Structure 1
Amino acid sequence: MSTILITGASSGIGKATALRFQSEGWNVIATMRDPSVSDLGELDNVLVTWLDVTEPASITEAIHAGTDRFGSIDVLLNNAGYGAYGPLEAFSTDRIRRQFDTNVIGLLEVTKAVLPQMRARRAGTIVNISSIGGQITLPLGTLYHGTKFAVEGLSEALHYELEPLGIRVRIVEPGMIRTDFGGRSFDFAMGEDLTDYAPTAAAMGRLFGRLASNPSAPELVADVIWQAVTVPGDQLRFRAGSDAIDLLDRRKTQDDATFIGGIKALMNE
């Protein structure tokens, strides 16, 4: 029986993916910062355990707990993350570091910790959750988009690095998904003295509302992750959601002025 380790499995995409793989007969190591909030442990072949991607000791403990319970880890899903939005000036250095520590450094640390056993077996799959925000940007998203562009680049480089060792790398790019991204997974900053940015913030709110008016279900992303893991071949990127397909197609075919002009036009509607 195959085993998947999922970070950020307490809700949203992570929980939906845990349920999908468990229903397919997989062992699931569902990791999260607060295991007490999860009911996933009531299911057969699911281990719920603590893992905070910014705490190296928790990464080691979670992997040891998972391998002690199920043996080797066949698939790693790097899903944990959040979005920081607002003017760059509004963010302290600590908040800037927290965004990159969670979305980029944490992802790399978990990957590093799992790779030795995959390399020893010459087999395994790493799935990194990016976003349409790893290919396109929205106003006030300097930090979030910086991290997701980084995930795209590091994943593509790892694809070259690990393919000769029998380890596959996949990138999943969701569009707007019905999760708590606008709640506890959203960090917005706007200082009282930064009124110069207020018109952009207001326009961003309108734009975000339009883009998020018809979000896809987390289960849709879980289906795409299942495809990324199980479909043979060397496809690197998998899009999740009709909006992701549409926007990423536009970004690929339009020049900067045209695409960015379109985003600005949506902001001003």
Structure 2
Amino acid sequence: MSDTVLITGSSSGYGEATAKLFAARGWNVVATMRNPADGKALAALKNVIVNRLDVQDRKSIDLAITEGIDRFGRIDAVVNNAGYGLLSVFEAAPREAIQKNFDVNVLGAMDVMRAILPHFRANRSGTIIVMSTAAGAVGVAGESLYCASKFALEGFSEAVSYELEGLGIKIKIIEPGSAPGTGFTARAQRERAGFVIPDDYKAFTRHAAQLYAEILRSADSGAIDKVVESIFAAATDGTDQLRYVPNEDARQVLAARRDSSEEAYMALMRNFNRPQLETAK
């Protein structure tokens, strides 16, 4: 019997690409999304079902898992992919926007994990793959709130991995870099619409926008493929590896964070941000 994966946020980006890859490689796929009408192309694939799952609606989480088990017999892996970016200086973001971002990126992922764990414990096996980002380990200018949610998700995921390893359940963290074509930027722009940025930040935000645009221009055109291949590897390699870094730009910045001294890392980051700080004076 084929293994089964449940993927959240499958309507576009990494989630949709991951669903297609797993299906092409013989897995059963429970592709979940807030609006199943967006998943017609996935539903046409062999051994793929499209179910509604909104990570802010715990009943929908339970129902999607139950329907997946009823259809395929069991679930072997979950890809916690649903999430979005909130790109803004901290002071300009209303508390409600921050709460929503944490509800989706952190609490939503926790609720999916909580819902699948009884099934995994009963089977004494299962893999939970957590979609993080290089910004889950490195502070990025203009992304303080998104970083906060992903730092929280990474710390939680690592800690809970120790709780679960004796039960045959594995946690895997994916740390992508920039990947054009995922819809990340468009969603982030919609989420910050209406934010009022104090004039004192205008020079900072202009410079941050230029840096972000340059990062996207220089990104690997095959980044999405590399990310979904790393997700598949995490689900199938049978190792205890916790973190996977699929993109070269992410590897470079994470090496600066993890493989150098604190002094060297902070000097690098402050130098990177110095033009905007000087301009803002």
CA distance in 1, matches of 2:50, 2:276: 42
Q: How does 1:1-269 map to 2 (within 5 A)?
A: 1-38=2-39, 39-178=41-180, 179-186=182-189, 187-188=191-192, 191-192=195-196, 194-216=198-220, 217-252=223-258, 253-255=260-262, 256-265=265-274
SS in 1 for 2:170: strand
Query: Which residue identity does 1:98 align to in structure 2?
Result: K
SS of 1:244's partner is: helix
Q: Which has the higher helix share?
A: 2
Alpha-carbon shift at residue 101 of structure 1 (Å): 0.1
CA contact (8 A) 1:85 1:189 kept: no
Alpha-carbon contact 2:88-2:142 (below 8 Å) kept: yes
Unpaired runs of 5+ residues, structure 1, are none
CA distance in structure 2 between the aligned counterparts of 1:219 and 1:14, rounded to whole angstroms: 12
Q: Which amino acid aligns with 2:50?
A: V
Q: Give the SS at the match of 1:25.
A: coil
* Offset of residue 193 of structure 1: 5.9
Inter-CA distance 15–266: structure 2 relative to 1 (3 Å threshold): farther
Range with bigger deviation, 94-103 or 244-253: 244-253
User: Sequence identity of aligned pairs in percent?
Assistant: 40
In 2 relative to 1, CA 261–203 (structure 1 residues): closer, same or farther, beyond 3 Å? same
Give the SS at the match of 2:83.
coil
- In structure 2, C-alpha distance between the alignment counterparts of 1:263 and 1:67, rounded to whole Å: 49
Change (3 A) 1:191 1:78: closer
Shift >3 Å, 4+ stretches: 189-193, 265-269
Distance 1:193 1:163 in 2: 45
> Structure 1 residues 191, 122: closer, same or farther in 2, change over 3 A?
closer
Deviation at 1:171, TM superposition (A): 0.4
Q: Residues 93 and 192 of structure 2 are in contact (CA less than 8 Å); yes or no, is this contact kept in structure 1?
A: no
CA contact (8 A) 2:4 2:74 kept: yes
Question: CA offsets, 1:147-192, max 9 Å, x none?
Answer: 1001110110111000000001100000001211111254335744
Change (3 A) 1:190 1:264: farther
Alpha-carbon offset, residue 214 of structure 1? 2.8
CA distance in 2 between counterparts of 1:164 and 1:143 reads: 34
SS at match of 1:182: helix
- Whether the aligned pair in 2 keeps the contact of 1:8 and 1:79 (CA below 8 Å) is yes
Q: Provide TM-score, normalisation by structure 1.
A: 0.95
Rounded Cα–Cα distance in structure 2 between residues aligned with 1:239 and 1:49: 29
Report the alpha carbon displacement of residue 263 of structure 1 after superposing the two structures with TM: 2.6
Where is the strand percentage greater, Structure 1 or Structure 2? 1
**One-letter code aligned to 1:248:** L
Which amino acid is the alignment partner of residue 259 of structure 1? L
CA contact 2:87–2:188 (8 Å) conserved in 1: no
Separation in 2 of the partners of 1:182 and 1:89?
Answer: 20
3-state secondary structure, aligned to 1:49: strand
Cα pair 1:77 1:128 within 8 Å, conserved: yes
Q: What per-residue deviation string (whole Å, max 9, x for no partner) do you get for residues 102-130 of structure 1?
A: 00000000000000010011100000000
In structure 2, do the counterparts of structure 1 residues 133 and 183 end up closer, same or farther at CA, with 3 Å as the change threshold? same
